[in-house]
Every structure is written in C-alpha cells, then in structure tokens.
Amino acid sequence: MKEPHIATPLFTLAPVEEISLANGPLAKVLTQVRFSRTPTLITDEAEIRLAELLPRYPVRRAGQTIDVTLGAAPGEVDQKIQPVRIFADTAQDWQITVTETAVALETTAYVSREDFCTRARELFDAVVQVSIPPLVDRVGLRYVDRFAESLLDRLHDYVIPPLRVLHGTMGEGLSLEHSVSDSQIVISDDERLKVRSGLLPPGGVFDPVLSPVPSPSWLLDLDVFTLRAGFSFEPEALDQRLRRYADHVHSFFRWAVAEAFINEFRDTSNEIARESRG
C-alpha cells in the first residue's frame, strides 16, 4: 500500500519563540557590516581605543586580508590587500575583525540571539566612538549548522525532505558524494535570505568561513543580507536590523528542522532557570 504524500508546510516569516538548544549542530554565527572606506578605523590609535571600548576581547592581532569586490563586467573581480585588526577573547571563541571597509563579529560559542545581538551592539557603539563610517554598503547575518558523524546518520529524522536534496535516496551499490541546494528568498525589495544546504565530502565546505572536517558532513547555511544599503552607520538602527534578521533566520531554522530534532537538543536546564527567575 502506497504511503500518503505529506505536504511540507509553507515557510513564512512569522516570528518563532527562541528555544535554547544544547550540543546542537550550530558551528558558527557571524555578522558583518560593510561600509565606505574609513582608514581611520585601522590606525594604531584606533586599535588602542577599540581595545579600551571592547574589554571582552583582550587578545589583539594585526595582519592583512584580501578584500574581494565583484566588478560590473561578467567575471571581473577586484582584489585588494587590506590591513586588518583582530580582537578576540582568551578562549578564542569570539572574534571581532576590523578593516577600513567592514567590521565583523563571529563566534563558535553561540548562546542566544540576545547575547549575540548585545555583543554586536557593543561593537557598533565602539566604532562610532572611534571613527564613524560615512555610508553603510551591506549588512549581513549568517548562521551555519553542520551535521557530521552520528548527527549525519540521523539527518532524515532531523531535517525536512526538501533541504536534504538527494541524501538518503541512493539504492544498493550506489553512494552519494555530494548533493547541494542553493536558494534565495526575497524578503523585501532590498533584503534577501540565502539558503544553502547539502551533503559535502570529507574536507568540503561552502567557503572558508567554516573550517573543514575529515568526514562527510551536511551543512545548512542561512544568510540574511541587504541587497542595497546606502544608509548611515547608526548603532540603534543596525541593532534593530540585526535582531530582525536573527528572527528571520530562526523562523527558517524552525521550519527546516523536525520536532524530533527540537526534542532531542532542547536545553531544558535553561528553561528551568528562566521559570525559576520568573
């Protein structure tokens, strides 16, 4: 007897209450604000001032990075070497990167939307006290989940079929080396949600933002960003935008994963603590 077809629910941007997860597959969270050239942000004096304003990140480094800009002509790419200032915590779980055209915050020890957005707001406030960028070009927020080893074995229990692509569909004598889906959702005229998911071979990643692992893995990469910007670097407005983007990402994530995933990784200790405080 043929099993009845179960339709996947429609995805919407309806806000979803955040649920704390423990030991889940979230590998990295990062946000970046790009802006017009502001060389005064990467002077020695600026580094000293930023270090004073951002005491959570006492580990300081200086180096160079390659800034890549896509040109107007097809295939045209402009690469420039830029000095970079890096601030990190002593555990190396959190990092701030500052160049003359961008600031970024990233972590491999994500706790909650509130914690991440509060730290981002601290960064924005520090930037305007050092040197205000004239114009914002892009704001982005990205969450990357990675399922590997035992988590990969249960992917069919955790993730809805449309995002699994061909994973779990190979018959006897066949194996799947990689299978990737790349989608872009229009949120508004100037905002997009880019969704990449798929099975990757050992050492495979979508880009260098995530370190490779020596085994096959399945990634869910969610990136919300402004398609066109051109507004002022105002910490309050950036904070509100970032929190809205975090809501969008969480709404998609909750749509993408099954209840079995939520039930297995729900952090009940956090919920009990919240109830006791209430």
List, for residues 55-103, the tens digit of each pLDDT value: 999 999 998 776 655 444 455 555 677 899 999 999 999 999 999 999 9
212 is written with which tokens?
A: 């490779």
CA dist 86 → 16, 41, 92 (Å): 34, 12, 11
Query: What gap in Å lies between CA 26 and CA 12, rounded to an integer?
Result: 22
- Judged against a pLDDT cut of 70, whether residue 1 lies above it is answered with no
Q: What angle do CA 148, 200, 144 make, to 5 degrees?
A: 65
| Residues in contact with 211: Cβ distance below 8 Å, sequence separation at least 6, in sequence order | 205
Query: What gap in Å lies between CA 124 and CA 62, rounded to an integer?
Result: 20
First-to-last alpha carbon distance for the chain, in angstroms, is: 51
Instruction: Give the per-residue pLDDT at 48.
Output: 97
What integer is the mean pLDDT of 128-149? 96
Question: Which residues pair with residue 225 across a beta bridge?
Answer: 140, 192
Q: State the pTM of this model.
A: 0.88
Instruction: Give the per-residue pLDDT at 247.
Output: 96
Q: Tell me whether strands 102-107 and 26-35 are parallel, antiparallel or unpaired.
A: antiparallel
CA dist 248 → 105, 160, 187 (Å): 19, 18, 9
Residue count (the chain)? 278
| Torsion angles phi and psi, residue 49, rounded to 5 | -65, -40
- Who wins on pLDDT, 165 or 68? 165
Query: What gap in Å lies between CA 197 and CA 182, rounded to an integer?
Result: 7
Query: What gap in Å lies between CA 154 and CA 55, rounded to an integer?
Result: 41
In 3D, which of 103, 95, 104, 105 has the Cα closest to residue 131? 103
Residue the block writes with tokens 């704390």: 20
**DSSP 8-class letter at 270:** H
Residue 51 — pLDDT band, cuts 50, 70, 90? very high
